[in-house]
Structure 1
Amino acid sequence: MQPKIEIIDDKKLIGQRLNMSFADYKIGELWRRFGPKRKEITNNLNNDLISLVVYEPTHFTDFKSTNEFERWATVEVENYNKVPPEMETFDLQGGLYAVFEYKGLNTDHSIFQYILGTWLPKSDFELDNRPHFEILGERYKNNDPESEEEIWIPIKKK
């Protein structure tokens, strides 16, 4: 599986966040909280959901399943003029990304093992210290083997 390499501009996001680790993975809780409230965001640029992760710089070099990270459930917006209560803003810094088209269950993490353990070491790139994210578009279906999403990994030249 080969990614597209893309450069994106900065993005404005509105959503909710929750700290978690892989050992104490609370992504379901985050999306259950965000789901009913996302309709309060009225200046969306599209209907896509963005599941974003902010890792500490040493997260992967000193990996433990208990390492905490910040997970966001968001949508991209035009501006921050109308931020609903209980929501926060996030400025996603643009840059170079490897974009993987993924089809399958969202609970199958082997795609990330492939990206970080196989593709990345053999590529001309290394991880950049910027957020990772998935775009959950119209073909995304939670817990469905036919679900499709885009996985965006921040990279820089080695």
Structure 2
Amino acid sequence: MKEGENNNVYLTLDDKKSDEVVLQHNLQALNNEKNAVIAEIARALVSIPAALVRMKWQYRREIYAFQVKEEIYGAALAEIIQRNPQLKEKILAHIEASYQHILARETATLRLSRKLSDGNCRTTSVNIVAPQESAAVPAANKT
């Protein structure tokens, strides 16, 4: 039986080879998606502001819901602060803490995405999004 030179089998006996195949397919899928987006943008031949307006119009239902929610929350917070000025600092501190938490999660997600695209991280080892880079912890010596 003749064996193919490049048969791209997902399951192999060697985990490293299997991970390389999965990574290769993931990178190929990302490249194909990027090329499709670039081709679509090149075909459109529209200016960036026109493309942004088109995207805004395309996602208007989702954007409108977020704008309404933001206005309602803003009005409610303004009313609470007006009635209880002593809570202003507490409310603003909580909003800032929430923003920093979201920012840290987004940064961690981008860090993992870059590691995956650079090939520095295996997809099977990514379980959760860590807010901070974890350094390698040396194993404790047993006596």
Q: TM-score range by the shorter chain?
A: under 0.3
TM-score normalised over the length of structure 2: 0.22
Larger strand share, 1 or 2: 1
TM-score normalised over the length of structure 1: 0.21
Which one has more relative contact order, counting CA pairs under 8 Å at least 6 apart?
1
Larger helix share, 1 or 2: 2
